[in-house]
Amino acid sequence: MLNRRSLLKAGTAAGVLAAVPAGLLGARPGRAAAAAAARAPFAVPLRIPRPQRALRMGGYDVYRLTTRESDVSIVPGATSRVRTFNGQLSPLIRAQRGRPVLIEQVNELPEPFSMHLHGGHVPHHSDGHPNNEVEPGGRRLFHYPNTQAGSTMWVHDHSHDTHAENIYMGTAATYLLTDPEEDELPLPKGQYDVVLQMRDAKVEDDGTFVWDPNGFNDRPVFLVNGVPTPYFEVAARKYRLRLVNTSNERAFVLRLGEGDEFTHIATDGGLLPAPVPSRVLQLWPAERQEIVVDFSRYPVGSKVELQTMVTYPGETPEVMRFDVVREAEDPSSVPEVLRPVEDLGTPTVERMFEMSFSPETGQHLINGKPFDVNRVDFRSRLGDVELWTIRNKDAEFGIPHSLHPHLAHFQVVDRNGQPPGPSEAGWKDTVTVRAGEEARIKIQFTDYTGLFMFHCHLMGHLTMGMMGQMEMVR
């Protein structure tokens, strides 16, 4: 069976959309006025999450994250039943390189949960392998060594059957790892260094948060840190904005104001080698992009919208708005060199990952096979440099795919034979490949043996089989 949501939401498919009956995309006229009020953009201020409080024990920062159903306010005047870590949408954990973190996850959800630190270089037992699910009522301890370079990561579910639902229903935490070298750079800090977790969701006017694995989210709202299309009052100075896409399927193609310039400074694995002046930013599911925006270019009183340039019929492009409300001192700057990226060297192993959709079975496949927890797809020796080709064979269906290997970041070597642009010159952990195209990456696994996952991060595809497992051996 053809999974309509996978095709439509992730597809490029204006043509496919045009064939969708109008009723699927249309409004409910009787409630139009209430809907208009509840859905007016820029009605609610952005929420800035305060970091979760750690217990300091020995050399460790210790947290408890309880996954549970919670009632939160999303639509003004209504409550929404969602799934959260510690009762919050978009909570924040701040970690420092060299200071390991222990998290006790307590699962109070009615579904199993397997917590995964996306982008984390962590041992197998703490990676959230689907075989290590925490059952309802259970708990488990996770060890994050934090030996890697600073970057913006996020925490989400990786359980067998309920990951897509658990992520969609709200369990997504930002894990912000700083490191001493990065701290020495004069980039914006403190209140001027802001996490923006973005996603789409279908939220009814009465607050009902709708999970429909087979449906098409008509007229979704864009949530930033759990707030629908918020406004954010900023000073006329530079801000570091850490954008995290926690959507199940939504790609954002972002632009600021009238296509104004900003500075791209970091991606999945942290800082780029050098800043890149940009006007458009792609943010695919699970990816992170960091930019510095200099709001001193706008007079106080300006309102600057962040919009996504790819929308479906019935959607509006507004994601959030920056309201420049005051002057401020600005000692920050963006240095010309951020963090050198050393080439991984000559690969000694090559692998192919062909991503395809089977209209006969409705499954999404890697190398012709759906996920099988009893199959190890390949073994990698720690320390080897590997060259991976990710080939999207779905030209016919127009479906983009991504590949996200756990455990290590990688370098993009080329796309369709062309070297990557400067915004892909840093360390990545998720690479998106459009229909009919291919990308090559270099990757080197280190330190930890055992089973790890690799998969497409469009959650509908992952659910329908687009995942495999690799075993790390010495």
- Residues of the shown chain interacting with Cu ion in the complex, contacts defined by CB under 5 A: 401, 456, 458, 461
Which one, of 292, 131, 318, lies nearest residue 223 by Cα?
318
The least distance separating Cu ion from the CB of residue 401, rounded to whole angstroms, comes to 3
Which 3 state secondary structure label does DSSP give 325? Answer: strand
Between 48 and 352, CB nearer to Cu ion: 352
Between 60 and 216, CB nearer to Cu ion: 216
Between 102 and 456, CB nearer to Cu ion: 456
Between 118 and 401, CB nearer to Cu ion: 401
Question: Tokens for 149?
Answer: 């370079």
Which one, of 291, 260, 273, lies nearest residue 187 by Cα?
291
**Contact by Cβ (8 Å): 239, 304:** no
Burial class (CB in 10 A: 0-12, 13-18, 19+), 370: middle
Query: How far is CA 102 from its chain centroid?
Result: 22
Between 428 and 461, CB nearer to Cu ion: 461
The least distance separating Cu ion from the CB of residue 372, rounded to whole angstroms, comes to 17
Helices (H) and strands (E) in the chain, counts: 7, 32
The least distance separating Cu ion from the CB of residue 364, rounded to whole angstroms, comes to 6
Which residues have a Cβ under 8 Å from the Cβ of 409 and sit 6 or more positions away? Answer: 119, 121, 148, 268, 269, 427, 428, 429, 443
The least distance separating Cu ion from the CB of residue 415, rounded to whole angstroms, comes to 17
Q: Compute the chain's Rg from CA coordinates.
A: 21
Q: Is the dihedral of CA 17, 22, 24, 28 positive or negative?
A: positive
Between 180 and 359, CB nearer to Cu ion: 359
The greatest distance separating any two alpha carbons of the chain, rounded to the nearest whole angstrom, comes to 65
Between 140 and 401, CB nearer to Cu ion: 401
Between 112 and 460, CB nearer to Cu ion: 460
E strand or H helix at 25: helix 22-25
Between 3 and 107, CB nearer to Cu ion: 3
The least distance separating Cu ion from the CB of residue 359, rounded to whole angstroms, comes to 15
The least distance separating Cu ion from the CB of residue 354, rounded to whole angstroms, comes to 12
Between 129 and 457, CB nearer to Cu ion: 457
Burial class (CB in 10 A: 0-12, 13-18, 19+), 277: exposed
| Rounded Cα distance, 138 and 151, in Å | 30
Which residues have a Cβ under 8 Å from the Cβ of 333 and sit 6 or more positions away? Answer: 186, 187, 238
The least distance separating Cu ion from the CB of residue 168, rounded to whole angstroms, comes to 16
The least distance separating Cu ion from the CB of residue 9, rounded to whole angstroms, comes to 11
E strand or H helix at 183: helix 180-184
Question: Tokens for 422?
Answer: 């400067």
**Contact by Cβ (8 Å): 277, 334:** no
The least distance separating Cu ion from the CB of residue 341, rounded to whole angstroms, comes to 27
Which residues have a Cβ under 8 Å from the Cβ of 65 and sit 6 or more positions away? Answer: 52, 85, 86, 103, 104, 105, 106, 115, 155, 173
The least distance separating Cu ion from the CB of residue 456, rounded to whole angstroms, comes to 3
Q: What does the buried/exposed string (b/e) look like for 448-473 if buried means 16 or more CB atoms within 10 Å of the residue's CB?
A: beebbbbbbbbbbbbbbbbbbbbebe
The least distance separating Cu ion from the CB of residue 376, rounded to whole angstroms, comes to 21
Q: Which residues are paired to 442 by β-bridges? A: 387, 411
Between 65 and 462, CB nearer to Cu ion: 462
